[in-house]
Amino acid sequence: MSTTETIKTKENEELQSVLLNLINGIQKSPEKANATFKATSSLSEGFLANVSIRNFEFLSDEPEDFGGKNAGPNPVEYVLGAFAACQEIVIKAYATVLDIDLKSVQVEAYGDLDLHGFLNLSDQRAGFTSVRYKTIIETNETNQKKLKTLEELSVKRCPVLDIINRPVQVDGHVEYRAY
């Protein structure tokens, strides 16, 4: 076994242990399944947004054609990136639990947007009119039942795909403050 294979096997064993401990913990205490995530964003200049999530910070901006300075991906591009990354994570997690060895996972995601809605030029929806993706999985696994299960789980259990596919209740309000 090569050093790379040994490291990958150890990584998969550690990941499998973490995932199974998480599953067992939630089965024993179902209330532990509830998680809340938070993002904070502040517009600094033009369309440049400074976003903070946990201890991470990143920029979001519009392309120059849309009035931005192209200092970072725009919000809808982040949605596509979040979806692609989520697919990869879900596939890796379930492949690990199903004992499927993966060499790599890559997702290409495309979102179509009709700017009429965003620009208030029509009643067209402001968000994506469609999202398409292609997932490329490199594996030596030959068990078709395992591979089919992995494919089904990647569609049924991806949180970001679920957010895109099904309406989510959103509550919020706008608050005005004098400056």
Q: How many domains does the chain divide into?
A: 3
Secondary structure class of 81 (helix, strand, coil): helix
Are 69 and 132 part of one and the same domain?
no
The answer as to whether 153 is a domain residue is yes
Judge whether 81 and 88 are in contact, CB under 8 Å.
no
The answer as to whether 99 is a domain residue is yes
Q: Per-residue pLDDT tens for 14-39? A: 888 898 889 988 999 999 899 999 99
Q: What pLDDT was estimated at residue 11?
A: 82
Instruction: Give the DSSP H/E element, type plus range, for residue 144.
Output: helix 144-156
Q: What pLDDT was estimated at residue 44?
A: 92
Are 163 and 80 part of one and the same domain?
yes
The answer as to whether 178 is a domain residue is no
Q: How far is the C-alpha of 44 from the C-alpha of 35, rounded, in Å?
A: 30
Q: What pLDDT was estimated at residue 4?
A: 46
Are 63 and 127 part of one and the same domain?
no
The answer as to whether 10 is a domain residue is yes
Q: What pLDDT was estimated at residue 8?
A: 62
Q: How far is the C-alpha of 88 from the C-alpha of 84, rounded, in Å?
A: 6
Residue 65 half-sphere exposure, CB side, CA atoms within 13 Å? 2
Are 80 and 163 part of one and the same domain?
yes
Average pLDDT value for residue range 123-151: 96
- Residue that the structure tokens 């979001």 belong to: 60
- What pTM, to 2 d.p., does this model score? 0.87
The answer as to whether 9 is a domain residue is yes
The answer as to whether 134 is a domain residue is yes
The answer as to whether 172 is a domain residue is no
Q: Per-residue pLDDT tens for 70-107? A: 999 999 999 999 999 999 999 999 999 999 999 999 99
Are 25 and 59 part of one and the same domain?
no
Q: How far is the C-alpha of 86 from the C-alpha of 100, rounded, in Å?
A: 18
Are 56 and 111 part of one and the same domain?
no
Domain of 56?
37-73
Question: Is the pLDDT reported for residue 3 higher than 80?
Answer: no
Q: What pLDDT was estimated at residue 138?
A: 96
Are 67 and 83 part of one and the same domain?
no
The answer as to whether 173 is a domain residue is no
